[in-house]
Structure formats: structure tokens, C-alpha cells
Amino acid sequence: MKQKFLEATRNILFQNMRVTDERVVLVYDLNSALSKEVSEWYIQNLKERKNTELIDFDQIEKPDLKERLFNLIEWSTVILVQSTNFRLDDFRIRLNLHNAWVWCLEHNHLAYIKDDQIENYADAIEYKTPYYDQLSSALKDKLDNANKLTVETSGNWRLEIEGGFENMKQNTWNYNWKKRWGTFPIWENFSEAKDFVQVNGEITIYAYPDFNFEVQFCEPFRIKISESKITCDDQNCPEEFRKLLDKISDSEDGEVFMRELWFGINTWITKQKPLSDVNAFERVTWFHMSLWKKHNIYRKKIHKSIIQRYHIDIFPDIERILIDGEVVFEGEKYVIEK
């Protein structure tokens, strides 16, 4: 496992982030088993490198850290290894650095990953960018030009989405000078229906997050989707999931709305090798959907005057995915022809 972390963090620095001679700052904490592991191997890869600064977040005064980050020159690189999320008052680290043309990479919520999943995390950050680029582009080519997406789940239930799709976005670790920031693990594509009225069906769900962002696995239960609005009258629906639906409904005009369609393509994250933090598990080689109205990418689809608060990922128990009748996912893996 240690060799996996050593190689993965080295590749993140020099293959994905393409670090050369510029300033590199590693800000880390040692407050969880996984943050200790990830931090150790970044330090091993950086300790002999010139123009590098290693900062223990808990051993520096916050104004001092903020000043150091503010004073970084353009094209510097910052790596954040966080048990939860680093807070510097109103200074939103990644956003502020991005606006200053400082590259920023995050590993966050590491305390949410269970100790017996640490090796799963090491696998999930392995460098496989060329493969993911190829698969991601193949998915984009097909869905951008498609009229219909069919999602078939256990229990012989299906979701059908017609009328075309928004321009699919890709996130594959292939960073260039325009964008070298993000959160790891990664590797996913996402889109959404052009017409919410044409999102209809019934599917089964096998996982969802609780109020602490931890993924809860359960016996598959059925939800209904009518014109992008979700309801659940299955007697096997978990009580905590009903509470999630109620919370969204109470806050968003009495509706639970489905927007994003996510195609996770990280081959190392699976049902058999999960990560308990939902922000990491959403990269699973699978398909999931987001319950919310708010959307920063396709923001013009719903007027800003409508209440938009939530983004909660749920995971259908997929058997097959078809794009315009062509099977692209089956047997827990993508079978798309590139």
C-alpha cells in the first residue's frame, strides 16, 4: 500500500499537475489515519525538491498561512491534504488561489474514509489518465449527439430520458494551463437533460448519503421520477432517505428535483471497494444522479429566483445503460465502443 501511495502522489505532482520548477506548497493535517498516509507520501516526494514549502495546518497561525498563500506568485501550486476542510475565515482557499492563477489541488474529507478503506483510496488515486481520457471522450461523443438515454436497474425498472442532452463536461485529471485545480479522487463526466419534462421512469436505489455525508448501502428500493420530480412510495424505502426527501422538499418549493446525470469512470471505486465519503464515492464506476435545483454549470435552466439549495447524490442499482439503444454499460463496467 505504501508503494501505491508513493507512486500515486508522485504522479499527481508530476504527471497530472505537471509540476516543474514553480513554487509548491503542501498544506496538510495529521488528524486522521488517511490524512497521515497521504501527507507522508507527498512529503516523501517533495522533501528533496527545491522551491517547496511543507506546512502543518495545525502548527501555523491562520493569518500567517493566509498571508503566505496570498503572496504566492502566479503558476505556483498548492496541495491541500485535509481531514475535513481547511477554513481561513472568508478566504476560500481553492477559489481565491484559482482567481490568482495559483493551481490548487485538494484531498478533503479524509476523516470520513474508514480505516479499512485506506487501500481503496490509494487505488482510487492511481494514475490512469490516458485510459480515462479515452473513455470520457467516447461517452461525451455519444451523449452529446444522442436523443435518448435509458437506465435499466434491478427489479426490471427503468428510467428514460429523451429530447437530447446538455454539453457533457469531463473531469479526467488531464490538467492543462487553463485548469489545474480540483478534488481527488476524480474521473467522471456529467450532463443533464435538455428538457426536464422528458425525464420519466422508475428505478431502484442501492446507496445514498446520510446527513453526515457518509454513504449508506441498503437493499435496493424503488423511486418514481415524473418530469424530473422524485417521489418514493416503496415500503422498503429507508427512513433516513425519506428524511432527505422531506428536507429537500421543505426547502425547495415542495419538490424534489433531479438534474445532473453523472457517469463515474474510476475503475477502482466499486460496490466491492467503496469509499464511505460521498464526495469520493461519487466517482464510482457506475452512474448516479443528483437531487437539487441549483446548478453552477447549467445555471440558466432554472431562474435564479427559484429556491435552489441542495446537491445530494443517489446511486441507482444499474444493470444496463443504453444511449440511443446502444449498450454502453453492463455487468458493472463500461462496454462502450470507443
- Burial per residue of 141-180, b for 16 or more beta-carbon CB atoms within 10 angstroms, e otherwise: ebbeebeebbbbbbeebbbebbebbbebebbbbebeeeeb
Which pairing describes strands 103-107 and 77-81: parallel, antiparallel, or unpaired?
parallel
Q: What residues have CB less than 8 Å from 22, skipping those under 6 apart?
A: 51, 75, 76, 77
Which pairing describes strands 24-28 and 52-56: parallel, antiparallel, or unpaired?
parallel
pLDDT in tens, 84-121: 989 877 777 888 888 888 999 999 999 999 999 999 99
Domains, in order of start, for the chain: 2-124 (3.40.50), 129-334 (no CATH)
- The pLDDT, as a whole number, for residue 255 is 84
Pair 318, 155: CB distance under 8 Å: no
Rounded to whole angstroms, the Cα distance separating 188 from 196 reads: 22
* C-alpha cell of residue 51: 522551491
Helix and strand element counts for the chain (H, E): 8, 18
* C-alpha cell of residue 248: 429537500
Residue numbers in the chain where pLDDT is lower than 50: none
Q: Whole-prediction pTM value?
A: 0.89
- The pLDDT, as a whole number, for residue 336 is 85
Residue written as cell 464510482? Answer: 284
Residue written as cell 444496463? Answer: 320
Q: 10 Å Cβ neighbour count for 75?
A: 14
Burial class, 128, CB count within 10 angstroms (exposed 0-12 / middle 13-18 / buried 19+): middle
- The pLDDT, as a whole number, for residue 55 is 97
The neighbouring-strand residues paired with 217 are 207
- The pLDDT, as a whole number, for residue 206 is 96
